[in-house]
Amino acid sequence: MSPASRRRARQPPDSSSLFRHRLSPPCQTNRGAMASSRLLPLLLCAGALSSLLCCHGAAEAPGFVTVSAASFKPGSTCRDPDPATPTPHRNGTSAVLRLTHRHGPCAPSRASSLAAAPSVADTLRADERRAEYILRKVSGASAQQLLGSKSAAATVPANWGYNIGTLNYVVTASLGTPGVSQTLEVDTGSDLSWVQCKPCAAPTCYAQKDPLFDPTQSSSYAAVACGGSACSALGLYASGCSSAQCGYVVSYGDGSNTTGVYSSDTLALTSTNSVHGFLFGCGHAQSGHFTGIDGLLALGRLQQSLVGQTSSTYGGVFSYCLPTKPSTTGYLTLGGGFTGGFSTTQLLTSPSAPTYYIVMLTGISVGGEELSVPASAFAGGTVVDTGTVVTRLPPSAYAALRSAFRAGMAAYGYPSAPANGILDTCYNFSGYDAVTLPNVALTFSGGATVTLGADGILSFGCLAFAASGSDSGMAILGNVQQRSFEVRIDGASVGFKPSSC
């Protein structure tokens, strides 16, 4: 997936040193910008000398951001983490795991070497299936049903990576005794973790680079017995019993599924943070769109998830920072307290879909101006989902956003590009050294405002938003809009802290 353009964290671009359209004559005024009463003039300059001579004083319109066009490129070399980015450790309050893009240069070689990155078309089709599944699951909840719900910590580095219908980021943890490294996609929209286990021969198990997890080689492994409390608590994930062992099954929004033996073993998140008796699915039959990964690490709200199982240790609190590019890294943290810099909003619950983390979106602004969208359009709530790529908005909200964004971009004369699947507002930036975008900000209940960087506005060269099913229905905050923010979730609130990875 080609990442969106990215604004440098903590160091906003200097418009006086960024070259504009390299094909334009020196100091030519963009008439479209001047014609708009909302925008200041944008000066177009050719080359470094012209930029220094005549564009040093070029003004950038309030509510707009200019970024280098080179930031659209994903990069082929893994960059060292930012000094502010946590590394795997335990400091008495948290444990951190490294989070990376699955197909990028920072990903574990075993996760990226087996399968090529999916095409843009495949990614968007899978994203549409996942979004439709989530919206169907929560469609029974009204605004009145969205009710607020009511330490130590562990941080795991996290990488950007994508798989059809599930989360696009992976972490590496160790399972069993002795521990065996497992590359796992992390998913805030599911509750049951699993890995592929022996015995499992193709086609019942998909190809993965690592050897399958062999439970017979782990001294701490145990199958969950039928009739026990853990088996009884599986609920919709239960799949009968075989040889007195508890069976499980998980089906995903794209039609993929996994089934096998519900099991327990030691999960080592870092060298000093282990979860003993961790409950997971030992998968003996998988089908659908899995490839390369060893399994999935579930971070949903139910007790079966990693968050639920470790609540006595980490307080049911976790945070993550999704990297903006495959060439950079982020992190997943279990536990820890709030630090400064977060904008927070109330966490809500849907009785019809208790797995999901839900907040209330209340407004959107483009270029510093709030859109005119009726409050009723947002009444269904918004799912915070790391597995959905582009944000889904109620149709009236999306139409207002698209109209305002197109108007802002038209002032700069960028040529349009054909629609790309569900993305219908696309641009061709070939030949541009820098790109100026109208800022997009999302406001949530309680006044929390998330101002997106360029990486949260564009993806695949297109506006990274799409329409959901209907006004007053659920919206989904996708991972494009979450990238570079630390997103912290506890039992009562969701917080957003910018420029965190």
C-alpha 399/C-alpha 396 separation (Å) is 5
Q: pLDDT digit string (tens) for 12-22?
A: 333 322 222 32
Nearest to 90 by CA among 313, 403, 340: 313
End of a domain among 335, 365, 383? 335
Q: pLDDT digit string (tens) for 274-304?
A: 999 999 999 999 988 777 789 999 999 999 9
Distances in Å between the Cα of 301 and the Cα atoms of 189, 358, 452 are: 8, 11, 26
What residue ranges in 294-421 does DSSP mark as E strands? 295-298, 318-321, 330-335, 343-346, 348-349, 358-359, 361-366, 369-370, 382-384, 391-393, 416-417
User: Same domain for 308 and 350?
Assistant: no
Q: Is the peptide bond before 326 cis (omega within 30 degrees of 0)?
A: no
Local confidence band at 364 (pLDDT 50, 70, 90 cut-offs) = very high
In the set 127, 265, 294, 385, the catalytic residue is: 385
Residue of higher predicted confidence among 389 and 67: 389
Residue of higher predicted confidence among 110 and 182: 182
Residue of higher predicted confidence among 27 and 465: 465
User: Same domain for 330 and 426?
Assistant: no
User: Same domain for 160 and 102?
Assistant: yes
Q: pLDDT digit string (tens) for 178-237?
A: 999 999 988 999 999 999 999 988 888 888 878 899 999 999 999 999 989 999 999 989
Nearest to 334 by CA among 273, 266, 264, 271: 273
Local confidence band at 81 (pLDDT 50, 70, 90 cut-offs) = low
Q: In this predicted structure, what is the pLDDT of residue 139?
A: 67
Residue 469 pLDDT greater than 50, yes or no: yes
Q: In this predicted structure, what is the pLDDT of residue 7?
A: 31
User: Same domain for 169 and 284?
Assistant: yes
What is the pTM for the complete model shown?
Answer: 0.78
Residue 454 pLDDT greater than 50, yes or no: yes
Partners of residue 265 on adjacent β-strands: 278
Contact 186, 102 (CB under 8 A): no
Q: Is the peptide bond before 438 cis (omega within 30 degrees of 0)?
A: no
Which amino acid is it at 38?
A: R
Known catalytic residue at 187: yes
C-alpha 216/C-alpha 236 separation (Å) is 28
End of a domain among 277, 305, 335? 335
Percentage of the chain modeled with pLDDT above 90: 48
Q: In this predicted structure, what is the pLDDT of residue 107?
A: 64
Q: In this predicted structure, what is the pLDDT of residue 30?
A: 36
Known catalytic residue at 433: no
User: Same domain for 280 and 359?
Assistant: no
User: Same domain for 269 and 376?
Assistant: no
75: how many CB neighbours lie within 10 A of its CB? 17
Domain count, the chain: 2
Nearest to 167 by CA among 78, 320, 279, 298: 298
Query: Does residue 449 sit within a domain?
Result: yes
Across 27-41, 63-77, 333-347, the highest mean pLDDT is recorded for: 333-347
Mean pLDDT score, 469-481: 88
Query: Does residue 317 sit within a domain?
Result: yes
Residue 28 pLDDT greater than 90, yes or no: no
Question: Domain limits at 286?
Answer: 94-126+151-335
Partners of residue 487 on adjacent β-strands: 320, 496
Percentage of the chain modeled with pLDDT above 70: 71
User: Same domain for 278 and 312?
Assistant: yes
Q: pLDDT digit string (tens) for 422-433?
A: 899 999 999 889
Q: For residues 269-298, b (16+ Cβ closer than 10 Å) or e, as one string?
A: bbeebbbeebbbbbbbebebbbbbbbbbbb
Query: Does residue 67 sit within a domain?
Result: no
Average per-residue pLDDT for the chain: 77
Mean pLDDT score, 28-36: 33
User: Same domain for 108 and 225?
Assistant: yes
Q: In this predicted structure, what is the pLDDT of residue 387?
A: 83
Residue 42 pLDDT greater than 80, yes or no: no
Q: At a CB cut-off of 8 Å and minimum separation 6, what does 389 contact?
A: 1, 123, 124, 127, 162, 168, 459, 464, 478, 479, 480
Residue of higher predicted confidence among 369 and 117: 369
Q: What letter does residue 339 receive in the DSSP assignment? A: -
Residue 403 pLDDT greater than 70, yes or no: yes
CATH of the domain at 420: 2.40.70.10
Which H helix or E strand runs over 33?
helix 31-35
Mean pLDDT score, 412-419: 93
Residue 149 pLDDT greater than 60, yes or no: no
Q: In this predicted structure, what is the pLDDT of residue 75?
A: 58
End of a domain among 273, 304, 335? 335
User: Same domain for 216 and 352?
Assistant: no
What residue ranges in 176-256 does DSSP mark as E strands? 180-187, 194-196, 222-223, 238-242, 245-251
Q: How far apart are the first and last CA of the chain?
A: 19
In the set 187, 191, 210, 490, the catalytic residue is: 187
Q: Are β-strands 245-251 and 343-346 bridged in parallel, bridged antiparallel, or unpaired?
A: unpaired
